[in-house]
Amino acid sequence: MVIRGSFGDTRHPSLEDALALGLTREEYELVCVKQGGPPNQVELAMYSLLWSEHCAYKHSKKLLRTLPTEGPHVVMGPGENAGAVDVGGGLVCAFKVESHNHPSAVEPFQGAATGVGGILRDIFAIGARPIAVLDSLRFGEPSVARSRYLIDGAVSGIGHYGNSIGVPTVGGEVYFEDPYEQNCLVNAMALGLARREHLIRSAAAGPGNVVILFGASTGRDGIGGASVLASAELGSDAEGGQDKRPTVQVGDPFEEKKLMECSLELLRRGLLVSLQDLGAAGLTSSASEMASKGEVGIDIDVAMVPLREPGMEPFEVMVSESQERMLCVVDPGDVEEVMALCDKWEVNGAAIGAVTDSGRVRVLDAGELVGDMPVRALVDDCPLYDLHPVKPSEPLYPQPAQSLASEAEPQETLLALLSCPNIASRRPLFEQYDAIVQSRTVRRPDEADAAVLVLPDGSALAVSIDGNGRRVAADPYRGTVEAVLECSANLACVGAEPLGTTNNLNFGNPEKPHVAWQLAESVRGLADACRTLAAPIVGGNVSLYNEGSTGPIYPTPVIGMVGRLPDARRAGRLGFVRAGEQIALVGPFAPSLAASELAKLRGKPLPDGLGGELDVAAIVAAQAAVREGVSRAESTLSSAHDIAEGGLAVALAECCLAGGLGARVELPPSPSPSVALFGEGPGGFIVSGAPEALRALAERLAVSPIGTVGGEALSIELSGTAVVAIALEELAQARSGGLMEYFP
């Protein structure tokens, strides 16, 4: 489904042309009704993109309306380029997560790089200066050559773009699972800061105002790219993908740096009425959405668009997804000054159209009308579809290969978990990223459960991004609730209170009943968890049709959450700090091996569900108590780390390795040593501190002392029997060597 070259009769495209562009027969007939007759080439191209799944959210919009979007900190919610929350001192934090999955599966370097470029434009499109990037990645097992090729390219692309533009990559996550082998996931999140009064919206306004395109010139790269690739299954040819490579955009971070500085200076000078970045569907999407939000019309003359390649057809200009471009609306009296600033920053600037009161998007070519469409039909009248969810009666995903014997001793099991791809140190990957440029980074990716960035008044932002597709596959509702709770737990461990949430919903084909069930249950869990946390959704993205020839990916809701802590100097850390301090287990932790990392190593199939109902309110209360214990001025906890993949034993090992200190731990009797040591579930924390810090915490939360910091080994006794005694050096070798084998 590539737009370029897809048309038969260019003046009067046929139904077959419409079907080739991704419209259904019924949708094409509706377009004809809206247009008062068959659309021409330009019109059909524009409808096919704006009515695609990627642009119209036609299978998910009804579900998204159930999400909580309002709260005391929300300044800008869904519907704009990014959401924003109030962080005090007149500042707002803008943030959003988006996907570039299918392009990255075809060309991983450029797919991931332009994913970063796109999310950064979303941030400065509302007037905020980007201050950080995070990434959430999913690939097949690293033992597979194609998976290594994809992750090498994607990580290099993320590092190249972020490092070149001067925005730190401060955190993220990566998982390796078989269902992502043909369809990898590359989700990028960005944050920015702005004065509240400097925010701008994208709604076009003021008939007679001038529409200016500025930034890079327009070429044929990316025609039909994100909007088409993201609206269909990749199929088996994704393994080569050569035929789809022309649809993948090519990015230039140095051009984007100039574009960013130009945009921010235009906003500081008050020269713009509205601003919109050009992403999927290019000028088609940006101009039409600006007109829709402002309830106006827009005329665009493609002959005025600066081109990289001569001889481009009008429809090609309108749907090109060339990167590093912005569209703005300007008062006629300010056009000269806007053009002068474009010259200053060495970016192309051209007046290409005007705002009208027609309620239509009109496309002209040197003054000749070549396309004329009602704005409402293009943007607002795309048909929305009801899902038909049916819980699958048979397993959807194959049983993993066994790599660890069920009878393995706890010590062998711990070392195996520490070295498995989903738990091993990510240093071989994230060391390619600059995490400290801009000098705001207080906690790096390996120092705390969440990244921490200092604000001008000495307070700080914390940010985390999380999701566990395997657990969501086992139980879409509860798994999604757990993903939200994991994100807020990470914020609690650094002492931050959640302010708002963003999400990227990565799922398979929603037209299939089992995928529809996964999606509906996941959104229900997302809504319930965010309401309980009072961390509303301020924006996000949906990526559907993530399937290959072997079936769908794991359902993967990726959650990004931003919080604030009052004093950056008291930001928590995960590593043990001082020998002799006490270690305690706190929180309503009820571990289970269902869908755990250990279950995967043992070759266990996914269960049908993750157990009983969660006491989410109790977990949120525990997070609040830990947050207070970390951030208060007196009797402060020295460290805090939530129990996640690999369970309690892995969390203890991570605390030891991060702090360079051993620990001696004694656990109470348990009917199942494996569950006690390696079971997973939300709600549990490992904290350390002086006795008075633990006593202060115990005033709000049940505290179970389990050991003492110190020594050069991790020693764990269970029911009075030593089950683990491993030197820190051996723990470090296991954890650091897990991915080093594949990415030396």
Tell me the catalytic residues: 54, 100
Residue listed under structure tokens 């990559």: 169
Residue 168's φ and ψ, nearest 5 degrees, are -70, 145
Q: CB within 8 A of 681, min separation 6: which ones?
A: 482, 589, 590, 591, 592, 610, 611, 643
Strands (E), 322-365: 325-330, 348-356, 360-365
CA distance 408 to 394: 30
Strands 169-176 and 129-139: parallel
Tokens, residue 173: 């996550």
Let me know the angle formed at the C-alpha of 453 by 449 and 457, rounded to the nearest 5 degrees.
135
Strands 556-565 and 460-466: antiparallel
Query: Which residue in 280, 288, 298, 290 sits closest to 378, CA to CA?
Result: 288
Residue 735's φ and ψ, nearest 5 degrees, are -75, -40
Query: Which residue in 168, 189, 196, 197 sits closest to 93, CA to CA?
Result: 196
Residue listed under structure tokens 């830990």: 626
Per DSSP, helices labelled H in 379-442 are: 410-419, 427-430
Residue 337's φ and ψ, nearest 5 degrees, are -70, -35
SS3 sequence, 120-142? HHHHHCCCCEEEEEEEEEEECCC
Residue listed under structure tokens 């050009």: 278
Tell me whether residue 367 is exposed, middle or buried, using C-beta atoms within 10 angstroms of its C-beta: 0 to 12, 13 to 18, 19 or more.
exposed
Query: Which residue in 211, 219, 210 sits closest to 306, CA to CA?
Result: 219
User: For residues 11-43, b (16+ Cβ closer than 10 Å) or e, as one string?
Assistant: eebeeebbebbbbeeebbebbbebbeeebbbbb
CA distance 725 to 653: 11
CB atoms within 10 A of CB 406: 12
CA distance 263 to 202: 13
> Within 13 Å, how many C-alpha atoms sit on residue 24's CB side?
11
> Within 13 Å, how many C-alpha atoms sit on residue 733's CB side?
5
CB atoms within 10 A of CB 344: 12
Helices 41-50, 282-294: axis angle to 10 degrees equals 70
Reported residue count of the chain is 744
Q: How far is CA 314 from the centre of its chain?
A: 34
Q: Which amino acid appears at position 156 of this protein?
A: S
Per DSSP, helices labelled H in 143-214 are: 145-165
Residue 395's φ and ψ, nearest 5 degrees, are -60, 140
Q: CB within 8 A of 229, min separation 6: which ones?
A: 102, 103, 106, 244, 247, 248
Q: CB within 8 A of 29, min separation 6: which ones?
A: none
CA R_g for the chain: 26
